[in-house]
Structure 1
Amino acid sequence: MDLEFTNNTDLGRYEAHGDGKLAALVAYSVEGDEFTILHTVVQSWAEGQGVGSALVRHVLDDVRARGGMRVRPVCTFAQAFLERHPEYDDLIVDAA
């Protein structure tokens, strides 16, 4: 599935769209230089296709590109992703 990623700042979430519809979202908050990943949701029709992981990776890459921000992964999905991907260790603050 081809995915399109957007940052919906009005709703405080990144979105992944596939096949013309919302496939997954990552809800977040920003306070100062801390970017908190609150929750990840993958629509049932998109489960098991790597959509959630692709979206979390996109979010982390976008945060890194901004520079100077740290990530607090409150979401258990994001925590599990980060445990499997040490290349993002430099972004992480301790989970809540």
Structure 2
Amino acid sequence: MAIQHKDNGEKGKFYVAVAGKTEAEITYVWSGEKRIIIDHTGVSEALKGQSIGKQLVHAAVAFAREKQLKILPLCPFARAVFEKTPDYQDVLF
């Protein structure tokens, strides 16, 4: 399952689409030039239990590392993943 990315310079998302329909997503908004705020994570019932949410958080972390950004995870799910994953602390705001 491929994770796709959209960003319009103000907000963006990492998502998984199945048959043209978004089935999982993590959304963020830009806060300055070097920080994004993760505000929502959602996974459809069809994809639950497959660690898709964690994969979406990982995609956001990889993006942040590539662009030298910091992440503020306001979404409770994303915040929990950050708290349980010491390897992600380098991008945490």
TM range (shorter): 0.7 to 0.9
1:1-96 equivalences under 5 Å are 3-10=1-8, 12-18=12-18, 21-32=21-32, 33-67=34-68, 69-93=69-93
Identify unmatched segments of 5+ residues in structure 2: none
Structure 1 residue ranges, 4+ long, deviating more than 4 angstroms after superposition: 18-21
Instruction: Please provide the CA RMSD for this pair.
Output: 1.6
Q: Distance in 1 between matches of 2:58 and 2:21?
A: 20
Q: In percent, how many aligned pairs have the same letter?
A: 28
Q: Paired residues, what number?
A: 90
**Aligned partner of residue 50 in structure 2, secondary structure:** coil
TM-score normalised by L of structure 1: 0.83
Identify unmatched segments of 5+ residues in structure 1: none
Q: Distance in 1 between matches of 2:88 and 2:50?
A: 22
